[in-house]
Amino acid sequence: MRNSIAWFVIPIIVLASAHAEAQEPFNGFWKNRQARQEEAQRLHDSFTELNAQIPTLSPAEQNWIKAEIDDELSKTGTYTKRALDAMKSKEYDLHMAKPHVEYIVTVLSQLSTMKFSDQRQEVILWGRLAQLLMDYSFWQSIDGLVQRGIVQKKINGYDAHYYSSHTELAKYILSEIVISHLHGNLGK
């Protein structure tokens, strides 16, 4: 009887102590402006590193994407086999990823360096970042570039599941920054 009680009580104690030591997700970076600015800088550095790994399409590659996808779509009004095949290419992944990551870097640069006279401006930028992080097509292209060995596998500390990991971050940005601001209780 004593052993069966021990087998019941020990897991409860372990779970309770683990819960007590649990950290807030993403280290609670939303608590105050300085912590948000530090997180924006950390993300900026990581996305800048990612951006440096993504080559820019040559004019010939840009023309090929336009001919294979855009022109096909405008001629037929639908995605043809030719267009769909082009959408599986390295060039398409680069076409989708490069401008998107550059926009993320721009937003993070503003978040990490600007002095906001109005908290609303900061919140708009965090909302924009959340939107960019939730773009499934972007993360599909990043996955394609990782599989092709064009970009390193580790992105923002993640080795896989980039979309779901960054969507989780976006969820916290929206709930803890944007919605907190709308309720009037975002930390200064």
What pLDDT score was predicted for residue 108? 97
Q: Could you give the CA distance from residue 165 to residue 186 in angstroms, rounded to a whole number? A: 24
What pLDDT score was predicted for residue 35? 86
Residue entry with tokens 């600007």: 114
Q: Could you give the CA distance from residue 118 to residue 103 in angstroms, rounded to a whole number? A: 22
Tell me the Ramachandran region of residue 80: left when phi exceeds 0, alpha when psi lies from -120 to 50, beta otherwise: beta
Q: Tens digit of pLDDT per residue, the chain (188 long)?
A: 555 554 554 555 444 444 444 566 667 767 788 888 998 999 999 999 999 999 999 999 999 999 999 998 899 999 999 999 999 999 999 999 999 999 999 999 999 997 878 888 989 999 999 999 999 999 999 999 999 999 999 998 888 888 989 999 899 889 888 888 788 877 67
- The secondary structure of residue 155, as a DSSP letter, is B
What pLDDT score was predicted for residue 63? 96
What pLDDT score was predicted for residue 3? 54
What pLDDT score was predicted for residue 21? 45
| End-to-end alpha carbon distance in the chain | 56
Residue 174, both tokens = 């929206």
Q: Name residue 85's amino acid.
A: D
Q: Could you give the CA distance from residue 50 to residue 116 in angstroms, rounded to a whole number? A: 27
What pLDDT score was predicted for residue 67? 94
Residue entry with tokens 């940005």: 173
Q: Name residue 105's amino acid.
A: V
Task: For residue 138, give the 3-state DSSP assignment.
Answer: helix
The pTM score is: 0.83
Count the helices and strands in the chain (H runs, E runs): 10, 0
